[in-house]
Structures are given as structure tokens and as C-alpha cells.
Amino acid sequence: MSISCSRRVGGSAGRRVASFVAATILLAATARAQAAKPATAPEGPGKTLYVKWCSGCHGDGGAGDGYAASYMIPRPRDLTLGNFYIRSTKTGDVPTDADLRRTITDGFPGTAMSGWKTALSTAQIDTLVQYVKKFSPFFSGPAPTVLAAGPEPAPNSEGLVEGRRVYEQLKCFECHGQKGYGDGTSVPTLMDDQKMPIFSADLSKNWTFRGGPTVADIYRGFRTGLNGTPMPAYTAEANNVNDEQLWRLAQYVRSLAPAAPPDTSSMIHATMKMDGPLPATPDDKAWDEVPAHYVPLGGQVAIKPRWFTPSIDGVWVQAMYDMKKLALKLTWHDASRSPDTTFAPWIKKVVETLDHADPPPITAQGPDRIAITFPVKIAADSLRPFFLGGNSVRSAYVWRWSSSPDTAEEGTTRGLARFTPLAAKNGLGHSARYQDGEWQLQFTRALLPVDSTTAPTFGGDLPVPVAFFAADGSNGEIGMRGSMSGWYTIMIHMMGATQ
């Protein structure tokens, strides 16, 4: 009895008195489970598969303490707790086999838990589904009850307005921010059940949602909560929302992201400004007509110190030019305008979590930073400098910006860490805005440099190679720690320039 009714306390159910009693028993049960944690993987079919593929992160005993665990955020799940992101069952119940199968098959985007459908057969995945249940006593209870989902109401504009109202009623902004960019006020203290730091989801990027990208997935997340994370379940009794309102909220959240994940081609098309001068600030209306290209970023791991847990996973790039100048606008989401003292506890947790991080240690919170790498000379051959600001083989031309103090400068680099400000300055202009968890940054430079041996000419007949580096100071990203992209090309179509 004690196990079966106190198995799981999910979300807001704990507010009720009965749940308080249950929670007490749960704590005891959890403590017992942890004390009795087996040092080796339990016997049974699937053990070989588990040891080969899963134990590196989840640990031999399933406690989420594998040898690779301290290299990742979010940390691997402690399987002994029976907590899973994807669950279609009612609060307090364990996930169904189908939920576990989906978890293993599709994995979670952006985490170390990749989908296993390429590496394992369906039969192997089914074996693992049964095997992982051995780690947790919670699975030994009666079969879980699948939550009955109400029908989704047809989407319409009134529904989105209602969804926004529910967003405010349920205080979603406390974690996800007013615009849903993952910048709520509680972000610096967000932790998972294992007291490890966890980012709040950026609702404008549904392709990164752990629970799945569709309206139905989002709705399921509201009904069941994302177990193990601060995302609770929402119920009629505790939160005064009915089923249709949760569907409306799901439709609203889905509407914050583009209809399809952005195209990831290597070309950034620049727009020619035919009337009037180029805008001076990134919030100028003229930018609204320029297509934005999404450049996904990954942790900077090419050079030491390597950084496996970046907070910036992409930047939108726009380019505009006239007969004299080129302007680039970068837009990215960042929960903090660094340095931000409220993020001190976050950095502390990050450093603790990554106890194997490369030296030097992170001692102070730095500013937010951007570095844009170009070749020194744009030539027809395909030779380029290394995308992280060149290296000792071939130097690069770099624009770099820092949020505090708000400065930008151009220089020659032999790697981003070896920056020499340019002597023949080309009047690099910049303008930065921070609002609602979003940075907007514009650079402007003349197409023709003062000295073409130290800086590239833009708008000749050749596309402009460009690579990006971004750092969030409040995530401990100082020096070479940050996110990076490979080489992209800006297509500047100078009419007649090719003739």
C-alpha cells in the first residue's frame, strides 16, 4: 500500500493533505532506494545492452552517476526514482511502456540522450524498456492509468488570446519569461530533482522541447508535468484551469515558435537597401523586411578550455547593405544581461555540476560576448582561416563585441584569444539592445576597408565567409568558453559588380 499510493508525487498534487502524508512515505522510500542502490546493473535480459549503451551516463546502478555524467547539463536521469520526462499517465503513476519506448526511441533533442532508433532495433529497445523498470521499485505497483485527454479545440485567434491569458494566470512567465524566451526571474535558481542546474525551455524553439514539439506534446506536458524538472502538472483543482484552457495554452505556446524548424543552409542572403541610409539601430523597422537566417550554435569544444554546456544554442542573422556599407544584425536569446549578480547561484551550480571541466576555473562572471570571424582577404580560392578567429597557420579578421562595457572593435586574430586591434580602423559601428531575454546587436562597416591588406572588402563578386561565436557571461562563459558555428556565407548581390 505504501509503495503503490505514494509512488510518485508529481506537480501540484503535493498541496493536498493526503499527498503530504504520501510525500513523507515517498521520501522514506526514496532514501531506502538510494541506500540499497546496487553497485552493478541488475541481472536480466537487456543487461548487456544497458551496460554497453546506457551505463556510461546513467551509471551501472541506474542512479544517473555514470562516468560521463559530470560532462553534461541536464544531467542524466536517476532511473531509481522512476522519473521520466515523457509520461501519459496520471499524477503519481509511472510512465507506460509506450512512453518509455518513445523516450528511448526518439530521445531528447539537444541533450546527450539522443534517439536510439538508429543504433538499436525495435526488439532491443523493447528489451531495454523492460530492463530499465528493474531500477525502480515504483514500477512494481499496479499498472499505471493513462490520462484521458480531452479533444483539442480548433485553433483560432480568440483561442490564442485565451492561451495568453492562461499563460499569465498560471504564471508561466516566472520561468519562461514574458515573451517565452526562457528568461523568467526564477531561472537563476532552477534545479532538477537531483539539485543540478537546468535551463528553462525557450518557447520560441519548439524543436528543443524535451517532451516533444507538437501541440499535443505540449498539452500532455501541462497535464502530467515534466517529471524531475521544475515543470509541474496543472490541474483543475489546484490551478483553476479546465481542459480546454490547457489546450488553448498549448496552442499559444506552439504559436511562439515558427511553423517549421528553420532552414539550416549555409547561405545568408543580404538585402540591398534601395531607399535611404542603412538603419543605425537593431530595432529599426527597416530590419523587419530583411529575412533572418538561423545559425545553430554548439559548445566550443575545438580548443581548450572546452565547453560542453553552452546556454546560447543559436543566433538569427540578418544582413543589409547599400552602395557604401554593410550592416549585420544578430538576434539571440539570453536569460541575463551579464554580468548579473542574480546569476551567481547559477554559475556556482554549473561549476559544481561540471566537476571535470577544463582549467582554468571559472572565478568571475564575465560579460555577454559576440565574435564574428571573416577571412582577412576574400579570395576565389577556398582557403580560409580556422573558423574560430584563425590560428597560427592563417590569421583572420574579427569583429568582437562585449556587453559590459558596451564596446565593439575590429582586429586581426590568430585564434579568438589572440586579438590585435586594427591600426587602420574602418569605423566599425555597433548598437546593442537587450529586452525580455533577447539581445539585438547591429554592426555596420564600410564595404571598402581603409587598408585592404588587413581587412576584407565586402560586396565584390564573391560571397563573404563568416563564422560566429557567442558567450553568455552568466553561464560561466569566459575566455574561449561559449558557443560557436562553422563557416557560413553572406551572399551580397551587387548588381553589375560581376560584369
Partner 1 sequence: MTASPARDPSSNRELSFQQPGTGSDPPVPLSGRAEETGEPRVFLWTVLTLLAVYASLRFVVPWISLWLGTSQIPVPVPRFAIGLYMLCAVIGALVYVNSDARRWRLFLGPVVRLFALPRERIRWPQAVVFGAIPLVIGALAWNRVMPSSQPPAQLRMQHPTMPQKYVSLENPFRKLPEAERQKAEAEGVILYQKNCRPCHGTSADGNGPLARGLRLRPVNFTDPGTIATVVEPYVFWRVKEGGIGLPAIGTPWESAMPAWSDLTDDEIWKVVMATYALAGKEPRKPEGASP
User: Minimum distance from CB of 481 to partner 1 (Å)?
Assistant: 13
Nearer to partner 1, 194 or 485 (CB): 485
| Binds partner 1 by CB under 8 A, chosen from 50, 84, 85, 116 | 116
Residue 339: CB atoms within 10 A of its CB come to: 17
User: Is 46 within 8 Å of 27 (Cβ atoms)?
Assistant: no
From the list 72, 81, 172, 290, which residue makes contact with partner 1 (rule: CB under 8 A)?
Answer: 72
Q: Is 40 in the site for partner 1 (CB under 8 A)?
A: no
Residue 394 has phi, psi (to 5 degrees) of: -145, 125
- The torsion region of residue 88 among left (phi > 0), alpha (psi -120 to 50) and beta comes to alpha
Nearer Cβ to partner 1, position 348 or 384? 384
20 lies in the binding site for partner 1 (CB under 8 A): no
Cα(381)–Cα(377) distance, integer angstroms: 11
Binding residues among 392-421 for partner 1 as defined by CB under 8 A: 393-394
Asked if residues 345 and 187 have their Cβ atoms less than 8 Å apart, the reply is no
Q: Is 498 in the site for partner 1 (CB under 8 A)?
A: yes
Q: Which C-beta is closer to partner 1: that of 222 or that of 321? A: 321
**Cα gap 260→330, rounded to integer Å:** 21
- Report which of 455, 381, 449 is spatially closest to residue 421, judged by C-alpha positions: 455
> By C-beta, is 267 or 450 nearer to partner 1?
267
Stretch binding partner 1 (CB under 8 A), from 8-16, 92-100, 240-248, 301-309: 301-309
CA atoms within 13 A on the CB side of 348: 9
Residue 469 Cβ, how far from partner 1 at the closest point, in Å?
A: 11
**Is residue 463 at the binding interface for partner 1, with CB under 8 A as the rule?**
yes
Is 147 a binding residue for partner 1 by CB under 8 A? The answer is no
Closest separation between CB of residue 266 and partner 1, Å?
5
Q: Residues 214-253: x/- map of binding to partner 1 (CB under 8 A)? A: ----------------------------------------
Per rule CB under 8 A, is residue 113 in the interface with partner 1? yes
Write out the three cell numbers for 386.
Answer: 580556422
Residue 491 interacts with partner 1 (CB under 8 A): yes or no:
yes
Identify the CA nearest to 428 among candidates 469, 491, 485, 372. 372
Does residue 475 bind partner 1 (CB under 8 A)? no
77 Cβ neighbours under 8 A, 6+ residues apart: 58, 64, 83, 84, 228
Nearest partner of 334 among 183, 485, 175, 179, judged by Cα = 183
